[in-house]
Every structure is written in structure tokens, then in C-alpha cells.
Amino acid sequence: MGLWVADGEKGLIREADGAFARIGPPAYALCAGGGRVYCACAGLCQCRDGRTGKPLFDFPLPPGVCALCLFGGMVCALSTEADCVAACDPATGQMLYSAPAGAYPRDLCPCGRLLAVAGGAAGEVLLMDEGLRLTARHRVPGAARAVRMLPRGLYVLCAAGEEEPASRLIRISPRGVSEEVYSDPRPPTVLCALPDGRCLAGCRESVALLRPDGRLLGRERCAYPARLRPCRRGVMMCDSWQGTVRLFSGGLMYRGGEPLDALLL
């Protein structure tokens, strides 16, 4: 079924039979489930058939959505402009719940039966249940940029300071104990959990492959990693500055305008 790219400049891009075609307006985030692809555009979400790309329906979203995920049978959208997370019915697009999500929140991910939200400038990670009710709040030493769940705990990529925004990777144990496992002198961008328990930490100009204890295993150059997403061929890196989607330690998959997210179905 090919590659889908949310390109903030060129539009929603779909690859089929080796050819790329623009099928929607500028797009900012993607998620997929139940044979459908959900794409966040300006103020709305497009639902499309994952096999054919055919549009099924649109539904409204808060402005400035930067991330989408499926959680609790819902499509969850994180807005950096409205500082909120919204949960919608994937079959109809009806908004079911909405909740505050910090100050300029930047990322969200399922965490078992909870939803983890990187609360951005608030310097915190929020854990919410399936009704988007707050169940826990964890402070981190800097603006929370990305969050992912791994077998050894919740990992948070945050900025170390305002004047010199270096990256710090914080692990929060199931008991709520926090420890720094990795640092980088460059500003943080994105985080990716791998099925084998390793992770990829994206910072400006590079992506680091790390063991669960933070030990560096390898590094790949990337001007600005906007999204890292596992796929059947490896891990896709969306470089929004270079306008490319390629594989970590692999080949080029797409070249366009400003790729911010990608799915390989």
C-alpha cells in the first residue's frame, strides 16, 4: 500500500506503484489503524482508506496539531496552539474528550492503559486515563520535547536549559524515580522506541541509537529530525530541513518540501 508522507509544504503525499502523488492539503501528523489513515491538516483531520487512499470523511481538530496517535480506541490529537489533547471517535470524528496538556506540548504516546503527554515548556510529563483524566504528573529538568514508553520505563527527551538548550534523556521508572541516562549538546527534537528495547534520540543535526541504559551504539546525521517512526524496513527519519524521508543507516524513500511525518503501510 506504499508510503504516506505528511508534508507541511507539498501536502499529503501517497506513494503507490512507485509513483508519488499529492492527495491532500499541507499535512502535519499521521496515524493509522483499522485499515484507515488519519492525517492532521490545518484545523481538521482527514480520514482515508489505507489501501486505496480514498477520502472517507473529515472532522475538526484544534489548531496547531503536532502529533496524532491511537489510544483507547480513539484518535488523540495534541495541539501546540490550544495547549490541549483532544480524543475523537475514529469512526465518526466526534470529539469525545479534551484536556489541558501543559504549555506548548510537543508529543504524546500510549503508555499501557494510560496516555503520556510531553507537556512542553511546562517541564513535565502528564499521564492520562482513557477519559483524559490526569492520573500522574512527573517533573523533568527542562522543556519536555518527546516521550516514549520502553520496557524499563518512560523515557523523556527534554531541553537542559533556555540559553544553551542541550538535550537530556530522562528515564522515569514504574515507581516514579527519575534518572538521566543520556545527554547531547544539541537541542532535542524527537524520540523513537524500538521493539527490542533500544531507542533513537533525535537532536538537531543527528540521531543517536541508544541502549536502554543510555549507552551510545551509533549515530546518523540528520539536519532536523522531525519524526522517527519504525517500519518493516527499519526506522524512517523525516528530515524537515533537508526535505527527505530516509531509513536510519539506509536509503532515501522520499524527497519533497517539509516532511513532518511518514507511514509505511
C-alpha cell at 60: 475538526
The pLDDT value recorded for residue 238 is 98
In angstroms, rounded to a whole number, what is the distance separating the alpha carbons of residues 16 and 3? Answer: 7
Per-residue confidence (pLDDT) for residue 160, from 0 to 100: 81
Contact 94, 108 (CB under 8 A): no
**What band does 1 get if pLDDT is binned at 50, 70 and 90?**
low
What pLDDT, in 10s, does the model give residues 111-161?
989 999 999 888 999 999 999 999 999 999 999 999 999 999 999 999 986
| pLDDT value of residue 163 | 64
Q: pLDDT tens digits, residue range 170-210? A: 999 988 899 999 999 999 999 999 999 999 999 999 999 99
Strand order in the sheet with 11-16: 19-24, 11-16, 3-7, 259-264
pTM: 0.94
Q: Which of 84, 14, 16 is nearest to 46 (CA)?
A: 14
| pLDDT in the model for residue 162 | 64
Three-state secondary structure call for residue 23: strand
Confidence (pLDDT) at 222: 97
Measuring CA to CA, how many Å separate 186 from each of 163, 202, 205, 223, 228?
Answer: 12, 9, 8, 11, 17
**Digit-coded pLDDT (tens) for 25-46:** 999 999 999 999 999 999 999 9
Residue 115 near residue 128, CB atoms below 8 Å? yes
pLDDT of 164 strictly over 70: no
Q: What is the mean pLDDT of residues 72-101?
A: 96
Element (H, E) at 235: strand 234-239
Residues 6+ apart with CB under 8 A from 214: 169, 171, 180, 181, 182
Query: Nine-digit cell at 1?
Result: 500500500
What pLDDT shows up at residue 122?
85
The confidence score (pLDDT) of residue 18 equals 83
| Residues 54/36, Cβ–Cβ less than 8 Å | no
The pLDDT tens digits of the residues spanning 244-254 come to 999 998 999 99
